[in-house]
Chain A
């Protein structure tokens, strides 16, 4: 499925261009040459096709790169960047203003100044997000949890050395003097989404999260038995 274009008639390209296209795809071209080559690609379809061929040829090498779950903070950033840009909120504010102007009333005109302020993007309008970045003392285990107050969802990413065979990492919520509350057993790698039960949601703000090393399946009886691997406070972002 990767690519069969190489079995079609290859266009007559200078071997030097074939090598340069290969260097471009590998990424070894020095920056100035890289940018000059990219400009050529816009004007030379045969060269662009050669780049696509190299990309397909080399792609299987990417199989040796083992997937690593990105931190849970990454996706909300993409979403905000694309779908909740400040310009959107300014546009929404402007729409409200136009509605008011359509009323044509003097009173409406009088409140415009106030609305101009209210219409500005306002950080307090954004859902409250909390993040806890837990890294073990030797940096071998890293667990990042992102909690979204609006939907009570917690996204967790786990990276680093997995627990020993027959063991699991368990995530705990520690709020004030209350006994640690289990939020569940973590996957050994990658990321997961876990809803926080409604009766616990009020406890998440400013809590500390911790992971402990427990028997496979989690601490028996819901009480932590193993050593704390890492812990961190939840910070508002």
Chain B
């Protein structure tokens, strides 16, 4: 019996950024999930899990914890899809927020102290290069424009907190300022940002 065979080229799933043309489809999927449609739920998982898993990985920096978080995220999405309020946020933004919230909760509940400095040092290498920043969606320009008006260090602190889940301890170490100074920096930056964003 000759068993060698080729099953041909596999079609890769492209986990590219969700473009605005997909917004209506994601909204429809979430609406179906709210009605307990399992097929829609699986499709939503197929489309959204690479992005949400990546968010968990960046914040938790641990494969197993990120997998656990992803599982929690989809359990939450299944139970709370009916709470998604379409006019307030895009479906992707809503799922991203659910994911970040959960990953940050896990991160902050982790034993304090351990590995914080290592994590902070790792942050520097993960930042996007200029070419990645250039492909950001147009919706991002407002936050980008407002971040650009801040002192570069402070804008970077906001970005590190958002993407990497950096704590005040990590940020204070990274920018070499006392913890309290770091916090008042960031709070003042947030108020400035908010003024710019609503202008």
Cβ proximity bits B42-76 to A, threshold 8 Å, 1 near / 0 not = 10010001110111011100010011001100110
Complex CA gap A27/B42 in Å reads: 29
Q: State how many residues of chain A have any CB contact under 8 Å with chain B.
A: 71
- A68 near B54 with CB under 8 A, answer yes
- A28 near B166 with CB under 8 A, answer yes
Complex CA gap A189/B167 in Å reads: 31
- B198 near A10 with CB under 8 A, answer yes
Contact of A181 among B5, B9, B38, B93 (CB under 8 A): B5
Q: Is the interface of B mostly helix, strand, loop or mixed?
A: helix
| B contact residues around A187 at 8 Å (CB) | 10-13
Q: Is B28 part of the binding interface, using a Cβ–Cβ cutoff of 8 Å?
A: no
Q: Which of B104, B167, B188 has the most CB of A within 10 A?
A: B104
In the complex, the number of residue pairs spanning A and B with C-beta atoms less than 8 Å apart equals 224
Q: B4's closest neighbor in chain A, by CB?
A: A222
- B89 near A55 with CB under 8 A, answer yes
Complex CA gap A26/B183 in Å reads: 12
Cβ proximity bits B128-165 to A, threshold 8 Å, 1 near / 0 not = 10001100110111111000000000000011011101
Q: Is B187 part of the binding interface, using a Cβ–Cβ cutoff of 8 Å?
A: yes
- B5 near A30 with CB under 8 A, answer no
- B167 near A28 with CB under 8 A, answer yes
Q: Is A60 part of the binding interface, using a Cβ–Cβ cutoff of 8 Å?
A: yes
Q: Is A86 part of the binding interface, using a Cβ–Cβ cutoff of 8 Å?
A: no
Contact count band on B:
35 or more
Complex CA gap A60/B136 in Å reads: 8
Q: B108's closest neighbor in chain A, by CB?
A: A31
| A contact residues around B163 at 8 Å (CB) | 61-62, 64-65
Residues facing B in A55-71 (CB within 8 A) are 55-71
- Chain A nearest CB from B83 CB (Å) reads 12
Complex CA gap A181/B67 in Å reads: 31
| B contact residues around A27 at 8 Å (CB) | 59, 100, 104, 107-108, 161-162, 165
Q: B162's closest neighbor in chain A, by CB?
A: A61
- A1 near B7 with CB under 8 A, answer no
Known contacts A1-B20, A81-B75, A181-B4: A67-B51 contact under CB 8 Å: yes
Known contacts A59-B97, A70-B50: A186-B10 contact under CB 8 Å: yes
Q: Is B32 part of the binding interface, using a Cβ–Cβ cutoff of 8 Å?
A: no
Q: Is A89 part of the binding interface, using a Cβ–Cβ cutoff of 8 Å?
A: no
| B contact residues around A180 at 8 Å (CB) | 4
| A contact residues around B171 at 8 Å (CB) | 28
Q: Is A192 part of the binding interface, using a Cβ–Cβ cutoff of 8 Å?
A: yes
Q: B98's closest neighbor in chain A, by CB?
A: A55
Known contacts A67-B50, A74-B53: A56-B88 contact under CB 8 Å: yes
A14-22, A103-111, A124-132, A225-233: which lies at the interface:
A14-22
Q: Is A164 part of the binding interface, using a Cβ–Cβ cutoff of 8 Å?
A: no
Nearest 6 CB-CB pairings of A with B: A187-B12, A60-B140, A67-B50, A67-B15, A27-B104, A22-B190
B residues neighboring A (CB under 8 Å): 3-17, 20, 23, 38, 42, 45, 49-51, 53-55, 57-59, 63, 66-67, 70-71, 74-75, 78, 87-90, 92-93, 96-97, 100, 104-105, 107-109, 128, 132-133, 136-137, 139-144, 158-159, 161-163, 165-168, 171, 183, 186-188, 190-191, 193-194, 197-198
A185-B9, A188-B12 are known contacts; what are 13 more A-B pairs with Cβ within 8 Å? A1-B20, A26-B186, A28-B166, A57-B143, A65-B51, A65-B54, A74-B70, A74-B71, A75-B45, A81-B75, A183-B7, A190-B14, A217-B9
